[in-house]
Chain A
Amino acid sequence: MHRLFPKKHVTIITSDVLEDKIIGYIRARGASGYTIVRARGAGSSGEQSGLLDVDTNIKIHIIMPADRLTGLLDDIERLLNKGHHLILFVSDVDVLAPEKFEPSAF
């Protein structure tokens, strides 16, 4: 296992309309990149069928060093406090090539 390095994996599930806002936070907090996939599902804001723009959910994956995490969590918490519907969870992952996750201007 000596080739693997611990990082934090942040997953956010939310509405399509928040994409630009959250990407802004991710950039500002110095993550090295992100991946977004389209998602469907249901929850407190009703069924998200993905058929209309407003009904489309996205799932955002970010892998970043643990020491950069707090700032991003603060930003997302502020969105939650405003009443936005979103889900965030963090898990531990191990990555190859840790230099890929150093902050860069993406």
Chain B
Amino acid sequence: MSALSNLLIPAVLFFALGFLARVVKSDLRLPPDMAKMLSIYLLVAIGLHGGYELGKADLGTAINSVVWAVILGFTLPVIGYALLLITRKVDTMNAAAIAAHYGSVSAGTFLTAIAYLDNLGISYESYPLIMLAVMESPAIIVGLLLASYSRQKQARASGATNLSVQSGENKQQLTTLLHEAFTNGSVILLIGSMIIGAIAAPSGMQKLYPFINDIFMGVLCLFLFEMGMEAARKIKEFRKVGMVLVVFGMLMPLIGGLLAATVAHLALGFGVGGILLVAVLGASASYIAVPPAMRLAVPEANPSFYLTLSLGITFPFNVVIGIPLYHQLAIQLAGS
């Protein structure tokens, strides 16, 4: 009962409305760049807000959070990759690309969790925000390493002779992709806004208050409305993906969420709000930063697999079932 009423927050309801609009085949069409614009606003607003808070925060805990974010970002894709290979439903290249999505994070899910916490009046630490920024990139690198490892294994198995040529090209590709992983648009926006929020004069930040706070939830509603439509569009393709992968799309967030919540509680000592946010970071799968990177670097993998899983399965799962579940988990952990 309480779990249901927790979901009755406007942001989640708008997500459901967007989903419904697609299901009933509404003729509603949003302007093509709307989602991109809204996500730019959301990253800047959350970055400024979080940077301002972090400016007053403890440096030791901040560094500790970054270290753990990197560790999680490197560990989660490896777990995902192993799980996917056990299912035997996808080849190694698809497994590498999908795994990278699950090690990275979804800002949309993170912001929904913030709306959820605000609605319940639960306070939360600002450190998970740096973890959000940090966790965008490591998983991309792990995905690339897994893919090039599988590629070499395949080449060796087929007795390819041009292995040295290939590895030279791989190295060059790795440098470009490392560059892209760290200069990715959302990373620049988020980290840049956080720095501005941290160093800007408080009086100047006060003038931005309406921009950062007052309209934030409204914009989030619109964003989630569009993401609901996008999720419904993707979920139609789940037949192509197959039941086993759909189960993976719901099991992997639970594993990632549990692992991340444990880290937040034991290693970082966060309260209920902080644990929930870190759990969401561990549980969520990227659909903004990672797909283009994988498309470029792992062209052998099928985009409709990883997009359907991250956007069509895992994102709705986390919004509707995951967040209240991680909340209960956080209460258990923090209470113990």
Contact = CB atoms under 8 A, between A and B. Distances in A.
Interface of A: 15-18, 21, 38, 45-47, 49-55, 79, 82-85
Given A52-B230, A53-B36, A82-B299, A45 B304 contact: yes
Contact of B296 (A18, A52, A55): A18
A79 B300 CA distance: 11
B295 A54 contact: yes
A45 B303 CA distance: 6
Contacts of A51: 30, 32, 35, 226, 230
Contacts of A53: 36, 288, 291-292
B291 A49 contact: no
A30 to B, nearest CB: 23
B303 A54 contact: yes
B299 A46 contact: no
Nearest to B298: A83
B236 to A, nearest CB: 9
B302 interface: yes
B169 to A, nearest CB: 9
A17 B36 contact: no
Most chain B beta-carbon neighbours within 10 Å: one of A21, A46, A79, A83: A46
Interface string B195-224: 000000000000000000000000000000
A51 B292 CA distance: 13
14 contacts: A15-B295, A17-B295, A46-B237, A46-B303, A46-B308, A51-B35, A51-B230, A52-B35, A52-B230, A52-B291, A53-B36, A54-B287, A55-B307, A84-B299
Chain B: number of interface residues, binned into ranges: 20 to 34
B304 A46 contact: yes
Contact of A47 (B36, B233, B296, B301): B233
Contacts of A85: 299, 303
Nearest to A54: B291
Nearest to A48: B303
Interface in B80-123: 93
B181 to A, nearest CB: 14
Contacts of B32: 38, 50-51
Interface string B282-300: 0000011001100110011
A31 B268 CA distance: 56
B171 to A, nearest CB: 15
A47 B226 CA distance: 16
B25 to A, nearest CB: 14
Nearest to A18: B296
A49 B233 contact: yes
Contacts of A82: 299-300
Most chain B beta-carbon neighbours within 10 Å: one of A17, A38, A47, A84: A17
Contacts of A15: 295, 303
Contacts of B237: 46-47
